[in-house]
Amino acid sequence: EARTALRPPLSRLTRDERPLRAVTERDLPALAELFYAAYHETMDDLGEDIAAWQLHLEDVAQGRFGDWIAAASLVTPLSAPLDSATMVIRLGAQIAMLGQIVTRRSRANRGLASALLRHSLNTLAGLGYRQCFLETTIGNHNAQHLYRKHGFAEVGPRIVYAEWRGS
């Protein structure tokens, strides 16, 4: 499936008071269940089971894709079962990648992903990051709507990334 990307201006982000916190390694089993629940039988489902998601998340936490930015990787609610999460890694100097934003389908369209996205980007800006990239499947209209709602702009088709530049 082809991928596309979007970019927001950081200045549009606002504070949100939803109960959320940074991800810890202790969260990985609950995150694996959340990722499975969020992706299973969707256009982005590549056949991963909970064990595969657990291995993927361990790889993220161990820095196999880039240094994990735990402070910008967030979950809600504060304890399991988790409803929504972000996972963020460092790609380079002042450059991050928002690897995943997931929400349990039964909790979709309640502002959870929006709140986590705002907080992740604000945290990155506070840590000195100037750019953040992400990928989304072109046909994933819900994800594209979320990113556009937050001011992301598409930067290209295929293996492309969404980007924001902090001020």
| Measured distance between the N- and C-terminal CA atoms of the chain, rounded to whole angstroms | 33
Rounded distance, CA 31 to CA 130, Å? 27
Nearest to 70 by CA among 111, 109, 99: 99
Contact 1, 64 (CB under 8 A): no
Rounded distance, CA 78 to CA 122, Å? 19
Nearest to 59 by CA among 28, 95, 37, 101: 28
User: What pTM does this model have?
Assistant: 0.80
Contact 167, 139 (CB under 8 A): no
Q: Kindly state the tokens that stand for 122.
A: 């604000």
Per-residue pLDDT reduced to its tens digit, 107-161: 988 889 999 999 999 999 999 998 888 888 888 888 888 888 877 777 766 444 4
**Banded pLDDT at 31 (limits 50, 70, 90):** very high
